[in-house]
């Protein structure tokens, strides 16, 4: 269920920005070279890859996303296609190197808001962001807050079942699941939490990590385990694994011996 | 509409003929000529030879018929002479004059006279002397009965009277005689020769003489003419008398008033002349059927001439065909084959046929000259292209103006140093070094040492970008580091290792560059412990259509061009564990040794770049 909620801009509203780029330096440069506060914006989150972004976007809930076009595992165009389908109000700014520009141009028409050519020019970013802010000010698409309807635990069970089967899909996340079941994402998130006591994201994360631990026990190579559990970006997977087990994947495999 | 379709048909036929092979065309042409020959032969025969032939045969046939009728007439004349002798016989005259009181003696004498006649002329069946009133005497060989009752009819002897002393021929005396059965029990017709006997004094008829002759006497008249295919038959009015069975032919011919008629019937090769001939003063008709054929007309000499002409023509056609095949078709085929192989292989092999010094030979020579010329043009083109490339390259270097870049980088380095930003200073220094070596003043070949320095700088810069995701190691044999290699053969492979191996693994990897010599081949090995490659991926890497001279495929091509051999690399890998790209540069060739030496000489210059290895 995709809805557009619009409401006039109120006092203190900050637009949320997400930066998706595989280079830490570029992310840092973006963060430091823009006066976000003056634009009523804040960098709400970053992702090192499209895969990571899919998994975190529902929590970050951005209005604007910077997406690097050239990333391993899932390139910026591919990610944008997903994102536009799931978050129709999201403003996407694609970052592209000069020699990739032709490639990027092929994607005009899929709904990408702006293109920016690297190396990043502070003035250009400023201009683009001001333009986008005006668009957002005119009608703020809001991440909807939904009233919790009386629901039954069977729905939550169904969703759990769905996740147990589909956790290997790298593009699955809260919004895609909500769309699948015909709910709005916010509602699903709250309902799931109430019914199961765990957040949707934690549940999916735990399912994947349980499986990852199992693979680590079998001494599977990390990038292969990453792919098998639906996080085909081994860097992000590695961080997830460490967060879950407290050890890096290779340490875990070593300790198993 | 129909016209149009025949037109297109004809055009199609012509097109089909045009697209036939030369040898086949010649064969069809000769077939056509032979066909025309045969048709011409048939036409000549039909319209000229045949006409003459039938005219000749008709004349011959007429002659035969005239001769046959002559034979018959002379036979009858003999009978006539005999009959006159008999008529003037005293005993016969006495018998006829004493008509009213015929004595036995008189009649006996007359019979004797008749017997005499029969004895002289053996062919006679019977002889009768009739008195005017019907009494008669006869001498017969047991063939006929006379039936003189018919004398009473007034008209019976009109023909006779008209003849005025001449004779009349008829079959069975038109009813005067009845036939007895012959030995075989069947009656046999006779030819009756009948004439009036006049009194010598009064010249008044006093009686009749009848001589019956067997039909078989007719056979004698045409017997001499029945050779081979000729057939003859006698008809009495409409009735078949004697000879071959030609009733059908008679039916075709009769019905006209003409006494003589000839027609030609039958188809080509089986033609016959049918003729119809009324014998004058007799009721008889001769019908003949005679075949005629070329052999009759054309003499042996002419036949030999015609046959030898045909044989000579055929021989000539075969000879010409062989000549065309040997001197034209075959050489052209050979030439075409040679040209085809050029078209197929793309190589400019000359036609190696030994051909006579005629037009086709010239064609071959011209063709070979053309190949030479094309070869020359190719070479010229390649040289030109190389020159243009070099010119473009130097133009490009002019544009880059790296000094501005280097100076700016130096300034930035200084600023970083002033700001005590050690790391930034290092990074800028590395970038400056990288660019200096990367561009190498546009040299196409650079020392291996410089090549490795490029890799070191590149990896250091990449670590700034992507963090500490790999360690780089170098294991190089000093001896070979001054050797010149094509510029930028290592960096693209390292880039591949980083982006397609190391970064995808998510764990810290090793990138190792080794240089060593083994069996006269210099090995430059790039090892990475990234995710590795499957056999299909390795196979696909060189099949990609994308051409980029600094991509993997382009790099390999440049090394191949440099080493003048195809076997310049090997990829070893284990999925998930490692990839190893082994560049192999042979050291044996004279060219390499020269390079090696020049490499030594250029050492100073290479060091002038200020790079530590």
Distance from CA of B371 to the nearest CA of A (A): 43
Judge whether B220 is closer than 8 Å to chain A, CB to CB. no
Whether domain A6-141 has CATH 3.20.20.70: no
User: pLDDT confidence of B605, banded at 50, 70, 90?
Assistant: very low
Chain A CA closest to residue B500: A72
Phi, psi for residue B475 in degrees, rounded to 5: -135, 85
Residue B278's DSSP bridge partners are B285
A153-256: CATH number: 1.10.10.60
- A24/B contact by beta carbon, under 8 A: yes
Cα A17 from Cα A42, distance rounded (Å): 6
Q: What's the half-sphere exposure (Cβ side, CA atoms, 13 Å) at B381?
A: 6
Tell if the CB–CB gap between B464 and A25 is shorter than 8 Å. Answer: yes
Q: Under an 8 A CB cutoff, do B506 and A235 touch? A: yes
In this predicted structure, what is the pLDDT of residue B306?
A: 81
Ramachandran area for residue A246 (φ above 0: left; ψ -120 to 50: alpha; else beta): left
* Residue A25 at interface with chain B, using a CB cutoff of 8 Å: yes
Contacts of A88 (CB under 8 A, 6+ apart): A2, A4, A111
Q: Which of B464, B467, B576 sits opposite A221 (nearest CB)?
A: B576
Inter-chain CB proximity A234 and B506 less than 8 Å: yes
- Find out whether A204 and A187 touch, Cβ atoms under 8 Å: no
Test B506 with A224 for CB contact under 8 angstroms.
no
Average pLDDT, stretch B275-283? 84
- pLDDT of B612: 41
Q: For chain B, percent helix, then strand, then coil, each to nearest 5?
A: 55, 20, 25
Q: Does A226 touch chain B (CB under 8 A)?
A: yes
Residues of B in contact with A235 (CB under 8 A): 506
Cα–Cα distance measured from residue B418 to residue B150, given in angstroms and rounded to the nearest whole number: 177
**Interface check A252 vs B, CB under 8 A:** no
Tell whether B145 is within 8 A of chain A (Cβ): no
Question: Which pTM value belongs to this model?
Answer: 0.54
Which residue matches tokens 């076997």?
B567
pLDDT (tens digit per residue) in B479-517: 889 888 888 899 999 999 999 999 988 889 999 999 999
Mean pLDDT of chain B, nearest integer: 81
Q: Which two tokens stand for residue B563?
A: 């080493």
CA torsion A227→A231→A233→A237, rounded to 10°?
A: -110
What is the Cα gyration radius of chain A?
19
Measured in whole angstroms, the distance separating CA B413 from the mean position of its chain's CA atoms is 89
Side-chain-facing half-sphere of A195: CA atoms under 13 Å: 21
Would an 8 Å CB–CB cutoff place A93 in contact with chain B? Answer: no
- A25–B576 C-beta distance less than 8 A: no
Question: CB–CB of B273/B263 below 8 Å?
Answer: yes
Residue B599 has pLDDT above 60, yes or no: no
pLDDT band, very low/low/confident/very high, at B195 (cuts 50, 70, 90): confident
> Poorest-confidence range of A185-189, B415-419, B448-452?
A185-189
At which residue do the structure tokens 């047991």 appear?
B142
C-beta atoms of A237 and B506 within 8 A: yes
Q: Chain A residue with minimal CA distance to B463?
A: A23
CA A204 to chain centre: 14
The 3-state DSSP class for residue B250 equals helix
- Alpha carbons B218 and B505: distance in angstroms, whole number: 131
Q: Which H/E stretch holds residue B4?
A: helix B2-18
Choose from B42-51, B68-77, B332-341 the range with maximum mean pLDDT: B68-77
Q: Which of B506, B573, B576 to mutate to test the interface with A (most CBs of A within 10 A)?
A: B506
Considering only the beta carbons, identify the residue of B464, B465, B531 that sits closest to A223. Answer: B531
Of A24, A25, A223, the CB nearest to B504: A223
pLDDT at site B528: 95
Q: Is B370 helix (H, G, I), strand (E, B) or coil?
A: helix
User: B110 or A207: which carries more pLDDT confidence?
Assistant: A207
Task: Judge whether A238 is closer than 8 Å to chain B, CB to CB.
Answer: yes
Query: Going along B107-201, which residue ranges are E strands?
Result: 126-131, 136-140, 144-146, 167-171, 177-179, 190-198
Minimal CA–CA distance to B151: which of B165, B136, B163? B136
What pLDDT, on the 0 to 100 scale, is given for residue B358?
Answer: 81
B579 strand-pairing partners? B528, B573
* pLDDT for res B398: 63
DSSP per position, B499-534:
IIIITTT-S-EEEEEEEEEETTEEEEEEEE-SS---
Q: What is the ipTM of this complex?
A: 0.80
Q: Assign 3-class secondary structure to chain A.
A: CCCCCEECCCCCCCEEEEEECCCHHHHHHHHHHCCCHHHCEEEEEEECCHHHHHHHHHHHCCCEEEEECCCCCCCHHHHHHHHHHHCCCCEEEEEECHHHHHHHHCCCCCCCCEEEECCCCHHHHHHHHHHHHHHHHHCEECCCCCCCCCCCHHHHHHHHHHHHHHCCCCCCCHHHHHHHHCCCHHHHHHHHHHHHCCCHHHHHHHHHHHHHHHHHHCCCCHHHHHHHCCCCCHHHHHHHHHHHHCCCHHHHHHHHC
> Nearest by CB to B505, which of A22, A25, A223?
A223
Which B residues in the span 450-479 are in contact with A, Cβ-Cβ below 8 Å?
464-467
| Location of each CATH 1.10.10.60 domain in chain A | 153-256
Q: What residues does A65 pair with on adjacent strands? A: A18, A92
Distance CA A213, CA A229 (A): 10
Q: Which of A72, A233, A250 sits opposite B507 (nearest CB)?
A: A250
Calpha distance B368→B100 (Å, rounded): 129
Mean pLDDT within B4-15: 80
pLDDT value at B372 more than 50: yes
DSSP state of B226: -
Q: Which residues are CB-contacts of B102 (< 8 A; sequence separation ≥ 6)?
A: B95, B131, B135
How crowded is residue B548: how many other Cβ atoms within 10 Å of its Cβ? 11
A62 CB-side CA count, 13 A: 25
CATH of domain B19-298: 3.30.450.20
Interface residue of A234, A236, A239, A242 to substitute, partner B, most B CBs within 10 Å: A234
* B-chain residues near A234 (CB < 8 A): 504-507
A224 contacts in chain B (CB < 8 Å)? 576
In total, the C-beta contacts within 8 angstroms joining chain A to chain B are 36
Q: What is the mean pLDDT of residues B330-338?
A: 83
Q: Does B505 touch chain A (CB under 8 A)?
A: yes
Record: contact A234-B504, CB cut-off 8 A:
yes
Give the distance from residue A20's alpha carbon to the nearest chain B alpha carbon, in angstroms: 14
Q: How far is CA B445 from CA B156, B237, B394, B475, B558, in A?
A: 144, 126, 15, 22, 11
Q: Which residue of B has its CA nearest to A224?
A: B576
Which residue of A25, A99, A221, A253 is the best one to mutate when testing the B interface, meaning the one whose CB has the most B CBs within 10 A?
A221
Q: Which of A136-145, B61-70, B105-114 has the highest mean pLDDT?
A: B61-70
- CA-CA distance, A138 to B310, in Å (whole number)? 108
Mutation to test the B interface, candidates A73, A119, A223, A251, most B Cβ within 10 Å: A223
Q: Which residues of A touch B528 (CB under 8 A)?
A: none
Query: Which CATH number describes the domain made up of B443-608?
Result: 3.30.565.10
Q: What is the pLDDT of residue B330?
A: 83
Is residue B344 within a helix (H) or strand (E), and if so which, with residue range? helix B330-345
Q: Is B571 helix (H, G, I), strand (E, B) or coil?
A: strand
CA distance B424 to chain A (A): 13
Mean pLDDT lowest among A36-50, A201-215, B114-128, B151-165? B151-165
In chain B, where the domains are located: 19-298, 300-376, 443-608
CB–CB contact B504 A250 (8 Å) = no
Judging contacts by C-beta atoms under 8 Å, the chain B residues touching residue A22 are 466
Q: Is A241 on the interface with B (CB under 8 A)?
A: no
Give chain A positions within 8 Å (CB) of B505.
222-223, 234
> What share of chain B in percent tops pLDDT 70?
87
Is omega for the bond preceding A119 within 30 degrees of 0, making it cis? Answer: yes
In B, residues 507-526, which contact A (CB 8 Å cutoff)? 507
Name which of A22, A23, A223 is nearest B506 (Cβ-Cβ).
A223
Q: Comparing B101 with B111, which gets the higher pLDDT?
A: B111
Residues of B with CB below 8 A from A233's CB? Answer: 506
Closest partner residue to B576 (CB to CB) among A224, A235, A237 is A224
For residues B453 and B439, the answer to whether their CB atoms sit within 8 Å is: no
pLDDT confidence of residue B606: 40
Are the beta carbons of A72 and B531 separated by less than 8 Å? no
At residue B604, the pLDDT reads 41
The per-residue pLDDT for range B388-399, each reduced to its tens digit, is: 877 776 666 666
The answer to whether residues A90 and A84 touch, using CB atoms and an 8 Å cutoff, is: yes
Sign of the CA dihedral B548, B550, B551, B556?
positive
Residue B63's Cβ-count burial label (10 Å; 0-12, 13-18, 19+) is exposed
Pick left, alpha or beta for residue B420 (phi over 0 → left; psi -120 to 50 → alpha; otherwise beta).
left
Residue that the structure tokens 């070593």 belong to: A254
Largest CA distance in chain B: 197
Q: How far is B431 from chain A (nearest CA, A)?
A: 16
Q: What is the mean pLDDT of residues B292-304?
A: 68
How many other C-beta atoms are found inside a 10 Å radius of the C-beta of residue B265? Answer: 12
d(CA B232, CA B242): 9
Contact B499 A72 (CB under 8 A): yes
Only one residue has tokens 């077939």, namely B31
Average pLDDT per 10 consecutive residues for chain A, totaling 257 residues = 45 83 90 90 93 92 91 87 89 81 70 82 90 83 56 78 91 90 86 89 93 92 92 92 92 84
CA-only gyration radius of chain B, Å: 63
Q: How many CB atoms lie within 10 A of CB B353?
A: 16
Closest approach of chain B CAs to the CA of A23, in angstroms?
Answer: 6
CA distances from B529 to B225, B494, B511 (A): 121, 12, 7
Comma-separated ranges of CATH 3.40.50.2300 domains in chain A: 6-141
B9 versus B153: which is more confidently predicted? B9
Residue B576: closest CA among B507, B525, B526 = B507
* Alpha-carbon distance B508 to nearest alpha carbon in chain A (angstroms): 10
Interface-testing mutation among A222, A227, A247, A249, with chain B (most B C-beta atoms within 10 A):
A222
**Whose CA is closest to B218, among B201, B237, B240, B196?**
B240
What does the pLDDT average to over B561-571?
A: 87
């Amino acid at each position: 269920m995709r809805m557009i909620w619009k409401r006039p801009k109120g006092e203190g509203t900050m637009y949320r920005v997400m930066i998706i780029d595989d280079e830490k330096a570029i992310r840092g440069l973006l963060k430091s070279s823009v006066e976000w506060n003056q634009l009523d914006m804040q960098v709400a989150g970053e992702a090192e890859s499209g895969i990571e972004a899919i998994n975190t976007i529902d929590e970050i809930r951005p209005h604007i996303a910077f997406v690097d076009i050239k990333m391993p595992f899932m390139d910026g165009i591919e990610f944008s296609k997903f994102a536009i389908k799931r978050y129709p109000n999201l403003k996407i700014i694609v970052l592209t190197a000069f020699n990739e520009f032709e490639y990027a141009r092929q994607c005009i028409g899929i709904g990408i808001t702006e293109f920016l050519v690297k190396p990043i020019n502070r003035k250009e970013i400023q201009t683009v962001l001001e333009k986008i802010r005006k668009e957002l000010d005119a009608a703020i698409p809001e991440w909807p807050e939904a009233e919790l309807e009386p629901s039954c635990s069977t729905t939550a069970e169904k969703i759990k079942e769905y996740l147990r089967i589909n956790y290997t899909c790298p593009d699955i996340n809260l919004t895609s699941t909500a769309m699948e079941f015909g709910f709005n994402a916010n509602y699903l998130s709250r309902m799931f939490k109430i019914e199961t006591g765990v957040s949707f994201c934690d549940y999916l994360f735990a399912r994947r990590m349980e499986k990852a631990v199992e693979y680590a026990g079998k001494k599977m190579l990390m990038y292969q385990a990453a792919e098998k559990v639906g996080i085909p970006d081994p860097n992000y997977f590695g961080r997830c694994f460490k967060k879950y087990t407290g050890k890096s994947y290779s340490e875990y495999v070593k300790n198993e011996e | 509409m129909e016209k149009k379709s025949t037109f297109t048909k004809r055009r199609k036929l012509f097109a089909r003929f045009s697209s036939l092979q030369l040898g086949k065309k010649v064969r069809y042409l000769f077939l056509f000529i032979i066909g025309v020959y045969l048709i011409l032969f048939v036409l000549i025969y039909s319209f000229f030879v045949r006409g003459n032939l039938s005219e000749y045969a008709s004349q011959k046939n007429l002659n035969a018929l005239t001769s046959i009728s002559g034979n018959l007439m002379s036979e009858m004349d003999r009978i006539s002479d005999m009959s006159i002798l008999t008529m003037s016989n005293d005993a016969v005259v006495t018998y006829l004059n004493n008509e009213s009181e015929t004595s036995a003696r008189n009649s006996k004498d007359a019979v004797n006279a008749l017997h005499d006649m029969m004895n002289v002329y053996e062919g006679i069946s019977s002889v009768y002397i009739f008195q005017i009133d019907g009494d008669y005497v006869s001498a017969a060989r047991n063939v006929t009965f006379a039936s003189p009752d018919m004398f009473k009819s007034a008209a019976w002897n009109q023909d006779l009277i008209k003849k005025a002393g001449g004779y009349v021929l008829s079959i069975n005396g038109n009813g005067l005689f009845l036939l007895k059965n012959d030995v075989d029990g069947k009656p046999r017709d006779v030819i009756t020769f009948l004439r009036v006997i006049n009194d010598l004094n009064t010249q008044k008829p006093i009686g009749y003489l009848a001589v019956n002759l067997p039909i078989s006497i007719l056979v004698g008249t045409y017997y001499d003419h029945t050779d081979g295919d000729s057939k003859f038959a006698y008809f009495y009015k409409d009735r078949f008398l004697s000879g071959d069975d030609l009733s059908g032919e008679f039916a075709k011919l009769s019905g006209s008033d003409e006494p003589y008629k000839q027609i030609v019937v039958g188809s080509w090769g089986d033609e016959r002349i049918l003729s119809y001939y009324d014998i004058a003063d007799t009721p008889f008709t001769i019908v003949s059927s005679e075949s005629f054929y070329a052999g009759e007309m054309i003499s042996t000499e002419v036949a030999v001439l015609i046959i030898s002409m045909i044989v000579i023509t055929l021989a000539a056609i075969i000879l010409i065909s062989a000549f065309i095949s040997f001197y034209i078709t075959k050489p052209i085929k050979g030439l075409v084959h040679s040209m085809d192989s050029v078209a197929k292989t793309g190589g400019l092999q000359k036609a190696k046929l030994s051909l006579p010094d005629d037009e086709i030979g010239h064609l071959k020579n011209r063709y070979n000259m053309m190949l030479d010329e094309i070869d020359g043009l190719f070479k010229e083109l390649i040289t030109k292209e190389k020159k243009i490339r070099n010119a473009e390259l130097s133009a490009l270097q002019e544009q880059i103006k790296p000094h501005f870049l280097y100076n700016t980088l130096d300034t930035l380095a200084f600023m970083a140093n002033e700001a005590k930003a050690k790391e930034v200073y290092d990074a800028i220094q590395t970038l400056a070094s990288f660019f200096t070596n990367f561009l190498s003043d546009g040299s196409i070949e650079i020392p291996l040492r410089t090549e490795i320095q490029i890799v070191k700088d590149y990896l250091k810069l990449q670590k700034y970008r992507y963090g500490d995701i790999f360690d780089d190691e170098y294991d190089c044999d000093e001896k070979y580091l001054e050797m010149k290699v094509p510029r930028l053969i290592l960096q693209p492979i390292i880039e591949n290792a980083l982006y397609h191996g190391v970064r995808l693994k998510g764990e810290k990897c090793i990138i190792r560059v080794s240089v060593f010599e083994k069996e006269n081949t210099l090995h430059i090995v790039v090892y990475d412990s990234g995710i590795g490659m499957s056999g299909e991926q390795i196979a696909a890497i060189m099949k990609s259509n994308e051409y980029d001279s600094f991509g993997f495929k382009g790099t390999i091509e440049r090394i191949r061009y440099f080493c003048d051999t195809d076997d310049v690399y090997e990829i070893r890998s284990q999925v998930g564990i490692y990839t190893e790209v082994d560049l192999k540069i042979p050291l044996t060739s004279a060219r390499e040794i020269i390079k090696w030496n020049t490499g030594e000489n250029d050492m100073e210059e290479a060091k002038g770049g200020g790079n530590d290895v």
